[in-house]
Structure 1
Amino acid sequence: MSVVGFTDIVQGPLALYLQYSLKIGGDVAQHSQIVQQAFNAQLQFLQLASQSGKPSNQNDLINLLRPTSDCISNIQNFRESNRTSPFFNHLSAVSESIPALGWVTVSPAPAPYVKEMNDAGQFYTNRVLKDWKEKNKIHVDWVKSWTQTLTDLQAFVKQWHTTGAPLPPPPMDFSAPIADDNLDRSALFAQLNQGANITSHLKKVTPDMQSHKNPALKQGGPVSSITPSHTSGVSSGVRVDKPPKFVRDGKKWLIEHQKGNHQLLVENAEMNNVVYLYNCVDSTVIIKGKINSITVDSCKKTAIVFDNLVAVIEFINCQSVQMQVFGKVPTISIDKTDGCQIYLSQDSLDVEIVSAKSSEMNVLIPKGNGDYTEIPIPEQFKTTILPNQTLKTLVVENKG
């Protein structure tokens, strides 16, 4: 019955998505063919699982899942190779949400993961609707058919695989290409919506973790009591060769090489303290109190939540990062970063945001009812030369 249920998705909303993709044509049609391959690969996997049960060893399981994983990689790579496409928003909507097929590696309760991936593509489906709803209804139908495909997938997983697929989660990354350090930018950090509860069950920095009280830490060794807890349903897929570090060195808090750790808490910090994150992957850092500044350097799929800043938070060379402020932040700097979600508070609406060489940046402004209004930061500009031989630069709305 599980196979039948998945077949209904393939023959129902997915078939409609493929039809509308062919009508739109171009890159959308070509992209949809890879999507069809991905769903067919998962159908074949479910058929084998229903007939054979759990594979005898982990390598067999990896080989069975590889066709689906390869298709997901191809879908995301197609988007990256066609960033100038007039249908870039269409390609992005699918690429951001296609990791939903990785539900087979999530245990327990994979259904919420599918919804999370569906929501991850909503930013781009909204752009498609904005650009095309008055021009061509096919694009509206295209959006509806794709989101319905993932909605039905979530219902299918909830009905037939409530606690996960009948197999152990393999060490595979369905959110990034195989053997590649590029992460998908679809990860949503549920921790950001927990409010005051966000600090529950977090590990704290004790005196023995502070290098000015424990000189041995300055030798670069790892803090033994701070170890990554792999709470994410899907592995990050990025190798971290150096040991994780979470230490306080005088006024500096150094958080480096953390992977899959959502229990990082900076507490009892002072106003002249600075926090420096480097090479962290799939992690969340909570900072309590008021500090001077934060630097997030070369991090991927990482979220940082804080109360108040005196100066600035900087994102440098990052991918798929998020921040949320509960109090005040004067300045946000974004440099060479792809994918940055900025959740503001009512007290921080006077913030200045400076960005350069970055893309996919969004500011989320609170509505007052717990919801946010999402506004993209411009990425395109038009410069002309004036008669007095000076330059005039204007923001150009991104049409995809």
Structure 2
Amino acid sequence: MSINGYQDLMQGPLQSYLQLSNQLGGDIASHANLVNDAFQEQLRYIQLAASRSKPSDGEQVQLLKSTSDKISAIQQYREKNRASNFFNHLSAISESIPALGWVAVAPTPAPYVKEMNDAGQFYTNRVLKEWKEKDKTHVEWCRAWVQLLSDLQAYVKQYHTTGLVWSGKGAGAPPPPPPGGMPPPPPALPEVDFANMTADDRSALFAEINKGEAITSSLRKVTSDMQTHKNPQLRQGPAPFKAASSTAPAKALPTPGAGQLDKPPVFARDGKKWVIEYQKGNSNLVVENAEMNNVVYMFRCRDSALTVRGKINGVVLDSCTKCAVVFDNLVSSVEFVNCQSVQMQVLGKVPTVSIDKTDGCQIYLSQESLDVEIVSSKSSEMNVLVPKANGDYAEFPIPEQFKTVLNKPPTGLTTSPVESTG
């Protein structure tokens, strides 16, 4: 049934997405072929799980390598085609395709699929905004992709609720239990964590509760010699529980943004892409002699500053913390994704600034860039600084809070930003 359910997914929602991709053609169709390969590979993996027992962790990594390679190929296609007219389409797929990694997630793979589906929403919204008045096929394409991942989430929830189900047959099957009498009774169970109970656990618990008065039939009667108010000596034993000291050091929370800088720094050019990764405390990063179709990609850097000279296609800061970028002119956009405390300054022209899942972003504009379009999503502490005649800057916060009201008569919703009064 698990295999049939996945085949239904591929013959229905996946085919709809593939057909619309072929209608749009170009990079979208080529990208869709890679997506189809990834789903085909996942089907083979599910068929394997239905024919054998669960492998060891090391073996599972090897078995999943092919699926991982397919996902990487989809994301690399996006990176190699940043100048494409359909870059937002490619990004929507690339950001959400890790949903196929649910086969390695336990015990809640279905919410993971939804999380990846939501991750691509930033770019599907861009596609809808750009194409809803031009070509409805692009709108249908977005809906088909979102529906495909929604159906994948429902499939996982139905057939693999707590993780990919292995049949328990074939290689690595556990040996049968040894003959003999009944095993000794298990030790007493710890206190029950109701929040983490499975559905079966809760059902068993409720069945016990529903016994009514009969549930107390197995309880032992408390006699007078067991009552502490009649026997004060019973209170002299050790305290059953001692509260933890309030002075105990709290465990440090993980630092968002850059994460652990456990890899050597990188500054290299790969074709049209300049790759700057894992730089720490470097304020002299400079990209020179770049061409107009080049893209600068800055990943997991901390306390660093980047200068880009000349006119290039775009700049991306991904998972950076306390970093700054200064550039002359961009053809498309500068993007901040999963960043903390970042700044940018444009000396010439930039058409678009994109901010996604970023906390703390200062945008310094030039006179040439006053017509810039700023798109923000799931971000906070964003400010736009506009140059004044005296050389100073006027600061304007980007709204983070919105008010939505129902139209009268009820025909839809109207959303407006709530201005800061602080």
What TM-score, normalized by structure 2, do the two folds share?
0.48
Q: Measure the CA separation in 1 of the matches of 2:126 and 2:68.
A: 27
Cα 1:20/1:322, change in 2 over 3 Å: closer
Q: Does 40-49 or 106-115 show the bigger shift?
A: 106-115
1:367 to 381, 391, 402: 402
Q: Measure the CA separation in 1 of the matches of 2:165 and 2:355.
A: 31
Structure 1 residue 295 displacement after superposition: 2.8
3-state SS of 1:314 partner: strand
Cα 1:320/1:35, change in 2 over 3 Å: farther
Structure 2: which amino acid aligns with 1:85?
Answer: S
- Does the CA-based 8 Å contact 1:364-1:373 persist in structure 2? no
- Which residue of structure 2 aligns with residue 213 of structure 1? none
3-state SS of 1:134 partner: coil
Is 1:314 the equivalent of 2:313? Answer: no
Q: Measure the CA separation in 1 of the matches of 2:165 and 2:62.
A: 16
- Does the CA-based 8 Å contact 1:365-1:373 persist in structure 2? no
Structure 1 residue 237 displacement after superposition: 11
- Which residue of structure 1 aligns with residue 50 of structure 2? 50
- Does the CA-based 8 Å contact 2:106-2:162 persist in structure 1? yes
3-state SS of 2:68 partner: helix
- Which residue of structure 1 aligns with residue 175 of structure 2? none
Is 1:352 the equivalent of 2:394? Answer: no
- Which residue of structure 2 aligns with residue 123 of structure 1? 122
Structure 1 residue 101 displacement after superposition: 0.6
State which structure, 1 or 2, has the greater radius of gyration over its C-alpha atoms.
2
- Which residue of structure 2 aligns with residue 149 of structure 1? 148
Q: Measure the CA separation in 1 of the matches of 2:148 and 2:50.
A: 22
What RMSD, in angstroms, separates the aligned Cα atoms of the two structures?
A: 4.6
Structure 1 residue 17 displacement after superposition: 0.6
Q: Measure the CA separation in 2 of the matches of 1:9 and 1:51.
A: 20
Note the 1:7-156 alignment, pairs <5 A: 7-55=7-55, 57-156=56-155
2:322 to 295, 310, 322: 295
- Which residue of structure 1 aligns with residue 262 of structure 2? 240
Structure 2: which amino acid aligns with 1:366?
Answer: Q
Cα 1:18/1:321, change in 2 over 3 Å: closer
Structure 1 residue 93 displacement after superposition: 1.0
- Does the CA-based 8 Å contact 2:324-2:343 persist in structure 1? yes
Cα 1:353/1:118, change in 2 over 3 Å: farther
Note the 1:241-320 alignment, pairs <5 A: 295-296=322-323, 313-315=341-343
- Which residue of structure 2 aligns with residue 343 of structure 1? 379
Structure 1 residue 76 displacement after superposition: 0.5
Structure 2: which amino acid aligns with 1:352?
Answer: L
Aligned residues: 245
- Does the CA-based 8 Å contact 1:365-1:372 persist in structure 2? no
Structure 1: which amino acid aligns with 2:21?
Answer: S
Cα 1:98/1:228, change in 2 over 3 Å: same
Cα 1:137/1:368, change in 2 over 3 Å: closer
3-state SS of 1:158 partner: helix
Structure 1 residue 238 displacement after superposition: 7.8
- Does the CA-based 8 Å contact 2:103-2:164 persist in structure 1? yes
3-state SS of 1:165 partner: coil
Per-residue CA deviations over 1:363-391 (Å, capped at 9, x if unaligned) read 663214699989xxxxxxxxxxxxxxxxx
- Which residue of structure 2 aligns with residue 4 of structure 1? 4
3-state SS of 2:140 partner: helix
Cα 1:60/1:342, change in 2 over 3 Å: closer
Q: Measure the CA separation in 1 of the matches of 2:386 and 2:34.
A: 38
Structure 1 residue 58 displacement after superposition: 2.5
Q: Measure the CA separation in 1 of the matches of 2:26 and 2:162.
A: 39
What TM-score, normalized by structure 1, do the two folds share?
0.50
Cα 1:48/1:332, change in 2 over 3 Å: same
Per-residue CA deviations over 1:128-186 (Å, capped at 9, x if unaligned) read 2222223322222211111110010111111122222247xxxxxxxxxxxxxxxxxxx
Q: Measure the CA separation in 2 of the matches of 1:105 and 1:226.
A: 28
Identity %: 45
Structure 1: which amino acid aligns with 2:9?
Answer: I
Cα 1:364/1:5, change in 2 over 3 Å: farther
- Which residue of structure 2 aligns with residue 160 of structure 1? 159
- Does the CA-based 8 Å contact 2:96-2:117 persist in structure 1? yes
Structure 1 residue 351 displacement after superposition: 5.3
Per-residue CA deviations over 1:188-212 (Å, capped at 9, x if unaligned) read xxxxxxxxxxxxxxxxxx9999xxx
3-state SS of 1:86 partner: coil
Q: Measure the CA separation in 2 of the matches of 1:135 and 1:323.
A: 31
Cα 1:7/1:351, change in 2 over 3 Å: same
3-state SS of 1:295 partner: strand
- Does the CA-based 8 Å contact 1:314-1:333 persist in structure 2? no
Q: Measure the CA separation in 1 of the matches of 2:36 and 2:259.
A: 24
Q: Does 149-158 or 128-137 show the bigger shift?
A: 128-137
3-state SS of 1:352 partner: strand
Tell which has more relative contact order, 1 or 2 (C-alpha 8 A, sep 6+).
1
Cα 1:132/1:341, change in 2 over 3 Å: closer
* Ranges in structure 1 where 5+ consecutive residues have no aligned partner: 168-205, 210-224, 243-255, 258-275, 285-293, 305-312, 355-362, 375-400
- Does the CA-based 8 Å contact 2:404-2:416 persist in structure 1? no
* Ranges in structure 2 where 5+ consecutive residues have no aligned partner: 167-246, 265-278, 281-300, 305-317, 326-335, 345-353, 366-374, 388-397, 406-413, 418-422
- Which residue of structure 2 aligns with residue 253 of structure 1? none
